[in-house]
Structures are given as C-alpha cells and as structure tokens.
Amino acid sequence: MSTESSAELAAARATIREQDEVIGRLLREKHEPIAIVGLGLRFPGDNDTPAALAEFLDQGGVGTGPFPADRWDVSAFAAETAEKGRINSSGGGFLTGIDEFDGPFFTISPKEARCLDPQQRLVLETTWAALEHANIDPTRLRHGTGGVYFGASSMDYALELGALADEDLDGYLAAGILHAGVSGRMSYFLGLRGPSITLDTACSASLVALHLAVQGLRGGECEIALCGGVNAIHHPLSTALLSDMRALAADGRCKTFDESADGYARSEGCGVLVLKRLSDAERDGDTVLALIRGSAVRQDGESAGLTAPNGTAQVALMRAALANATLTPADISYVEAHGTGTPLGDPIEMAALDEVFRDSHTADDPLLVASLKTNIGHMEAAAGVGGVIKTVLQLQRATVYPHLNIDTPSGRIPWDTYPVRVPDKSEPWRAPVRRAMVNSFGFAGTIASVVLEQATVSPRQAAPADAGGVFTVSAKSAPALADQLRGYQRLLADEPDLAVADLCYTANVGRAHFRHRIAGVVRDRDDLAALLARSAETESTATAARKVAFLFTGQGAQYAGMGAGAYRRYPAFAAALDECDRLLTPLVGRSVKDLVLDPAAPDLDETRYTQPALFAVEYATAKLWLSWGVRPTVLIGHSIGEVVAATIAGLFSLADAARLVAARGRLMGSVRSPGGMVSVPAAAEDLADLVDAYPDVAVAAVNAPGQTVLSGGEASLTEIMAALADREVTAKRLTVSHAFHSPLMAEVVDEFRAAIADVDFRQPEVTLVSTVTGQVARWRELADVDYWVRQIVAPVDFLGAARAAQKRGKHVFIEVGPGSTLTSLAKRCVTATDHAWLTSLRRSDVDAESLPAAVAKAYAAGLAVSWPDFHAGAVHRKVDLPTYPFERKKYWLATPADTQSERTPAASAPKAEPARLDPEVLADPFRRRPAVEDLIQRILAAAMDFAHPGEVGLDAEFGDLGMDSLVATELRNALIAALPVPCPASAVFDHPSVRKLAGFLEDQFVSERIG
C-alpha cells in the first residue's frame, strides 16, 4: 500500500471515530436522565411545601371538603332538582386565599393584580418557591435560556368578566385572562429567554408540559426548565357544566377503584418542577430529588366518544414511555394512576396496566397502583404534576403512601387476575431500584405518561459541624424580613444536626437578595441563634443605594505577616499575590511573597521592600474583592496606594506597575539626605508660616481637617516641633526612614523619570480621584510620566480626594490594604453620615477573619456580592431552608357576584383626576416641592389603584411599584395638565421615583424662574 493510501485510510478512520463520538454523544443526550431539583406546590389541605405534603400523605390526609362560601352562592346552585345549571356535587378540593396575592413582590400594581387570573398569580408565587426549594437564586437565571412550560385549562376568571359593567373593563384584562400569560408572565418576571409555552390538553396538560420540557432540555433549547400546571375554580358555570355531564362525584370525593365510584371531585392547585439535565445538576451541586428517565404523549384517536378513554391507546402510551426511558415493565414497581374515580375510566386504565405489566409482575410481586386524587381531588390541568410530586416524595423517602376511599374494591376490575395491589396504608417501598410511572389522561383524548427513578447522585460532603460562615437573609419589606427570621429560628429548633456552614452557604447562593437585609459572621448555632434574636428585636430599614470606593493604604500601615491569613484562606488572593511575586521578585532582589507572609519580616520597613510588599498585598486584596463581585466606581490611593489604584483601574499593566513600584521604592529609599516626618494636629494653612521658613520642609500630606503631615530635614523639623510646642500644639514624630513627599526627594526625580519612561498608559476603566490634586483625575493627566514623578514629591491631598468622592454620592468605603488608617481618616473628611466604612485586613487577625466580617457588612450596606465566587473552593452542600413568606392581599374584580358571597374585592383609590396646584403654592419654593411630591403620589395612587397615596413611597422605584408605559404616559399627561412647566416624554423613566421626579420638576421651575 502506498504512503498516500495509508494516509487516506488513517484519515478515514479518524473521521469514523469522530462520527462515532458524535453519534454516541447525541444518543446520550437523547436519553440523558433529567434531574428534578426543585418542587413548588399549593395543594388542597393547606399543603404548600414538599415536607408538609409528605407528612399529609403519609398520614392519609384528606384535602377535600364542601364548596367554600367565598366562591359563589353555593345554595343558589345546589342540585335539589335535575334542573340545568345546578351543581350535583357537594364539594371538592380548594385552596385558601385564592383571591390573595403578593403583587408588590412581583412589581405588579394593585390595578394590574386585580386583572390577573389567579392562575397566573399562583404560578408566579409557586414557581418562586420551587426555585428556592431547588436553592437556585432566581435572579441568576436572568437573560439565560430558561424554559417555562405550563398546563392550564380553567377559564373561570374570564367568566367573571360577564358580570362587569363596561366602565369597569380594563386593558390589563387582555393579558390578565390569557392562558398564554401563565407562562409568558413567569418568563417576563424572571427574564428568561428560552421557550415559554402554556398548553391546554385538559387533565393531561401538566404532564404534557413536563414532556415538552424534557424534550427542550435534551434538545438544548433550554438550560433549565420550569414546568407544571395550575387550576383555579371560582365561577359556578364550569362546575355546573361538568355536573350536567354527570362527571362529578356527589359527595365531592374521588373514590378511585372503589365500587362506589361515581365521578371525580374537582380540585384546584398549582404544582411546579425545576428540571435540569442530570450532568448540569451534578456540575452545579444541586440536590437531585428524582430522575425523569422517559416520557411519552399520545392521543386516544377514534374511540367511544371525545371524552371516553381508550385502553388500547393507553397501552401504547405506557409502552412508548418505557421505550423512551430504555426500561422494561419489570423495572417499574409503582404506578401513580390517572385514577379519577369514574366507573368507566378506572376499569379501562387498570386493564391497560394489566396488559403492559402482566408478564413482569405477579400476585406475589404485584405492581403497586394508587392515585393522589383520593387525597385532594382532581386538579385537572395540574393533576399530572401533582402525581409527579407525590411520586417524587415517595421515591425520596422509600415509602408508598396510602390510597384512600377504597372500602369495597370495584367489581368492574378483576382483581384476582390482575398483577396489581392498591396500598391502603403507608408501607416501605422495597425495590432494588425504585422506579415509577405516572399517568395523566386528558378530557379530549391527549394522554401522557412519564417514568421516574430514584436519585442515585451522591450528595456533596457536608461542611464540618463546627464550621461557621457569613449568614445572610433578606426580604422586600420589614414584615417579610421578620417572618424570614422566625422561619430560620424554627429551622434551628427543628434541625439540631444541620451544619451552620451549609446553612450559610445555601442562604447565600440559593436565595435572591433584596433591600431589607441582615448579615453577620456566625461561628456556630449559638452565634446564629443570637444573631437572629438580636435582629428580630429591631425593625429593618431598606438599604440605601450606595456606590463603592476602594481606599488603598500608604506606607506606614505595613506589618509583619499582613497577608498570611488571606493567602492561606482565599485562592483568589493567593493567585494575585503569586503573580505579583513573579513580577516583582526579580526587580526587588528577594521574594516579595516571603516579605508579605513572614511573621517576623525584619526588613519589611526598608522602603525598597515596604512599597513592593504593600503594593502586592493591596493588589491581591483588591483582586479578592473583585472576585466576589464587589465593583468600585471610584478609587483613591494614598502615596504608594495610588499606584495600586491606577493598576486596578487599568491605567497600566501589572508588569508595568511592578517596574514602577520597584523603581519607586528603591529610589525613594536611596535618598541620602537625612530627613523625617511629623504629624501635626493642625490645618495646613495654619502651618504655612513655619513651612515657608524652612526650604527643606514641605507639607507632605493633608489627611483630614486639622491633620497635617510635615516632611523634611531633621534639623528643620526639630525646630518646627519646638515652635509648635510654644503654640501648645503637640506634634508627633513618625517612624519613617526618609522625608517622603518633601523637597529632599528631588535628588531621585530624574532617575525615576528615566526608569518609568516606557510605561504603556491606557485609558482607565474606573474613576480615580487624584491625591496629588484632590480632584477627580482626567485620564490624560494620569497617562503622563510627569504625573507619577510629581507624585513622589507633591503632598498627598487625601482630604480633598475624600471630599471629591463624597460629591459623587453615597459610598461604601473599603480600605483595600492592611489596617484601618484611611477609613479612620476618611470618616473625618466627609460630612455625610450615610456612608459605610469597611476594613479588609487587621494586624491582630492572623486567620483573615476580618474579611468575611467586611463582606457581611458590605452586604448589609446594600452591596451586591457574588456568593458563588465567595464560596469557591469550599466544601458545602445545599440544605432545605425556609422559602419566601409572601405578603398576600386580596385582589379581585368587583362584580355583582361579590355581594352574593363572602368574597370582597380589595379597596381601590378614588379615580378623581388631580386638579392643578394652587399658583401661590407653586410660587413658593418652600411649599412647592412637597406639594409636587404629593401630587405625583396622588396621580400614581389613582392610576395604579393603590388604596392610599401614602402607599406610593417617595423613594420607591416606579418599576418596583408596577409602573409600565401606560401608567408612565398617564402620569406625564396628568403632570402636564397640573403644572406650568414642561415634562418631557423621557422624564418619568429618567427620574424613576417620586422624589427624583419631583426634583427634576423643581429644576424645571427654577429654569422657568417660577418662584
């Protein structure tokens, strides 16, 4: 064979191998198990958590009962006769508070909330709870390809519109009553960009939604899927129509497989599953509750009638689901049946089960069959997901829950020949591998089946029992935060073995973070209990919106071992310090890392070593904060600290910075003229006469009001100190090797300029405030070698720099370096009290405990922290935590039917149009601003149906209140009508709060010279 032929053969073999790998990958993806990582539910019987439902089912709980009085006039529809339009059932399964919703949480105004079908509201709240049960921060899904798949069939809210007067119709109802809004509104709120589908296949809808979600995940259409179903029953017509079909049980119970079966009990509820590909769930450290191995959807096709079940189709469906799961009937030990309790449907389904499982199961090894509907009724579009949730709980707990209401097994089912058994009490689920099938059959013939399997993913190792961490909890309001605290207190009492570090980790990474916040470092359960108790005693206030300022410390703050704890504990710090060491060590002549970590470090105070060591520690500390997602908007550096600030801002590369720092420290430390520095408790201008008298003395730093540092020749400083003593001013010598920032530094200026002449300057990405000028620096000014030469001679104007930063708004000032020198000074420099002050490293803190404490304070001050990055590299597992305590209020359409029942709509604001303000008030600058604020509040209260203008907070963001473009236009038009100043179209969105918009309008009054 020729060489050319051999090469061609080798290439062909390589191509075949690649194609085989692609085919294998595609097959794996096609059949990859889908992990169920979160459950959300609101079911009859006041079941709203997985744990509550598990206990309810284990105890044989009953969630059905009489029709609630708040739905319709029950007596008016009682079926005392066979008259059309009556209801021949006594009840079903119902939720409490079907008319209640936490609109503000979802940034939905009262006006819009009233127009939303309660099914949309249930899905919003239940999906949020499902994500929290999965310990997934919902806000981290934003702009991702998350998919939303829901089943919904009820049209009851649309039926409510028939009783509305024309003047009560509202545009919000257009989207509020659409089934499309069930999924669309969820995607909109979470910012998801994957598929968003609401489907209606009647009773099978939620299982069909699950099937589509599985396909979406396996096909790569979405990275996470939220799926389920919802049902709400509050208008009598739909129930009356089903009564006319003789579909409903007279006693309001599903008596599935019983001789007395006479129809089903209508039930409402919402169930949500959070799904991921198994490989993704394992990668993300999720708790896998169960696996979806396969699913199938079919149609009855031609049968005895549109609503009549078709056993042949059911057999084909279940076999297709098993084939999709690559399993056989022998692998299944439990079936959650559709089992509605009808005398026709139950025998047909049981016969289909016999057909599928007769060769794999026997009377001695029977297939267990049961139905959730005997506990809570038939949730119709949500029934399938209800069966899945029940089955997941059984798989997790290796327990089969009892099937109720089977006193006399149905004579229509040949029990002696079928290989099935219906459990009548809780029992262990004994199987080598627990696998189950869940069936859901639709009213119009669309049928679905899903195959589930117990989770086999090894759980992550728990944190050590004695480990602590940063604990955070937050809410959108003070009352909700108080509820959260009580929830955690109950958790501590109920779970004595829960590792605090795991609790902290989960609370940080698995929850969204809102403006009412509490945080602290806790070492153990007692610490956490004390923090919760202290916090519960004080009503929280929303954190202010703050920017971040990094303060980079100057020479004199160094101490031996100043980075040792952080180096051991934080990989991001260690990596940055190692990089500095790699670049600086050849330039400095010894290991900078050793200088920083050495607990003795005898030569750390030598300037040639001090400055590189400080640079390395401060650079690494800044990189650590940045790795945690804390992003500064302004940087201030004191002397050598300004070089670190410029590096972090991106003015020059780390390599160039290393050359600059090494030259700076070496040359400033080589100055031959003897000199020193003196701290004086006086303003610089009060010292001018003394400084002017000595040519070798200068002001080295203005650190704070009445706090000045002088630098210069030793003899001159001695004389100045004596003169100050005569003025009863006590000056203090500083322990330094040279007279920095003084005329004595002039001897190294030329050499320093030459050493840094080829530094490559770039436009910085973060604002720097110059401590040379005391002002916000222009980048062209910084991108000049002469600036950095002048910087070693010129005085440090820290006072001016701190005040320049203050003018840019509220800040969290973080000292990014050893000690707290700059935060102490900055507190004296700024006059506002609404800043926060944090220290990163402390001399006595050998284990870097000050850093997590600083992070907790930063979070409590309102900063965003990337908690997954904060916990990177640590050993933790996710644990169950309390879910968000929604603050529900009544929102319902006001119809004549409300006078017939106990249901009442929430009060709304009067619709009177705000009048023009009194010209005398507008002409008075002192009265005008409050009057305009009140006007805006009244307009918005009327436009969005707030009960009182005071509910529109002065600082509440308009978007958080539920404002949309329609309300914004209404507000602008009303302001134009009420005020004699212009209000541009963009004003409402550019100034999105009452206080901000009123401030803008005040500027308009001033520019128009009114008042």
pLDDT-derived band at 515 (thresholds 50, 70, 90) equals: very high
CA distance 880 to 893: 37
pLDDT of residue 899: 45
Q: Is residue 381 part of a domain?
A: yes
746-779 pLDDT, tens digit per residue, is 899 999 999 999 999 999 999 999 999 999 999 8
pLDDT-derived band at 935 (thresholds 50, 70, 90) equals: confident
Same domain, 504 and 357: no
* Catalytic choice (203, 254, 270, 580): 203
Q: Is residue 265 part of a domain?
A: yes
**Residues 512/513/519/525 CA torsion (nearest 10 deg):** -10
* Catalytic choice (378, 516, 835, 876): 378
**Helices H / strands E in the chain, number of each:** 38, 29
Ranges 19-33, 629-643, 685-699, most confident: 629-643
Q: Is residue 700 part of a domain?
A: no
Q: Is residue 889 part of a domain?
A: no
Give the domain extent around 531: 469-543
Same domain, 287 and 357: yes
3-state helix vs strand vs coil in the chain, percent to 5? 45, 15, 40
- Least confident among 26-35, 92-101, 661-670: 26-35
Q: Last residue of some domain: 861, 890, 906?
A: 861
Region 22-44: mean pLDDT is 82
548-565 pLDDT, tens digit per residue, is 999 999 998 889 999 899
| CATH number of the domain within which 395 lies | 3.40.47.10
pLDDT of residue 245: 83
**DSSP one-letter string for 267-284:** B-EEEEEEEEEHHHHHHT
Type of residue found at 185 = R
913 DSSP 8-state letter: P
Q: Last residue of some domain: 420, 454, 488?
A: 454
pLDDT of residue 27: 55
| CATH number of the domain within which 611 lies | 3.40.366.10
Same domain, 22 and 53: no
pTM score of the predicted model: 0.90
Tell me: pLDDT of 508 over 50. Answer: yes
CA distance 749 to 665: 12
Same domain, 395 and 260: yes
Tell me: pLDDT of 80 over 80. Answer: no
Same domain, 296 and 424: yes
885-929 pLDDT, tens digit per residue, is 999 999 988 754 554 455 555 545 455 455 577 787 887 878 888
Tokens of 469: 């961490």
pLDDT of residue 5: 74
Helices 571-588 and 607-627 cross at an angle (nearest 10°) of: 150
- Least confident among 470-479, 531-540, 939-948: 939-948
Tell me: pLDDT of 514 over 80. Answer: yes
240-269 pLDDT, tens digit per residue, is 888 888 889 999 999 999 999 999 999 999
- Active-site residue flag, 378: yes
CA distance 484 to 105: 15
396-429 pLDDT, tens digit per residue, is 999 999 999 999 999 999 999 999 999 999 999 9
Task: Please give the mean pLDDT across all residues of the chain.
Answer: 90
Instruction: With CA atoms as reference, report the closest residue to 267 among 114, 40, 86, 41.
Output: 41
438-458 pLDDT, tens digit per residue, is 999 998 889 999 999 999 866
159-215 pLDDT, tens digit per residue, is 888 777 777 777 788 888 899 999 999 999 999 999 999 999 999 999 999 999 999
CA distance 676 to 689: 19
Helices 345-357 and 311-324 cross at an angle (nearest 10°) of: 40
Same domain, 382 and 352: yes
Q: Last residue of some domain: 543, 568, 592?
A: 543
* Catalytic choice (179, 211, 338, 741): 338
Region 629-644: mean pLDDT is 97
Same domain, 196 and 324: yes
569-581 pLDDT, tens digit per residue, is 999 999 999 999 9
Same domain, 6 and 65: no
Same domain, 44 and 3: no
Q: How far is CA 467 from CA 503, 568, 723, in A?
A: 11, 16, 57
pLDDT-derived band at 740 (thresholds 50, 70, 90) equals: very high
Same domain, 235 and 322: yes
Burial track 831-867 (b if 16+ CB lie within 10 A, e otherwise) = eeeebbbbbbbbeebeebbbbbbbbbbbbbbbbebbb
Q: Is residue 893 part of a domain?
A: no
**Would you say the C-alpha torsion 820, 825, 829, 832 has a positive or negative sign?**
positive
Q: Is residue 676 part of a domain?
A: no
| CATH number of the domain within which 516 lies | 3.30.70.3290
| CATH number of the domain within which 999 lies | 1.10.1200.10
Burial track 576-594 (b if 16+ CB lie within 10 A, e otherwise) = bbebbbebbbebbeeebbe
Q: What percent of the chain has pLDDT over 70?
A: 94
Q: Where are the beta strands (DSSP E) in 87-186?
A: 91-93, 100-101, 147-152
Tell me: pLDDT of 790 over 90. Answer: yes
User: CB of 802 within 8 A of CB of 703?
Assistant: no
Q: Is residue 8 part of a domain?
A: yes
Same domain, 38 and 121: yes
A 10 A CB-CB count for 219 gives: 11
Q: Is residue 58 part of a domain?
A: yes
Same domain, 175 and 231: yes
- Active-site residue flag, 338: yes
Q: Which residues pair with 199 in a beta bridge?
A: 151
Tell me: pLDDT of 700 over 90. Answer: yes
Number of structural domains, the chain? 5
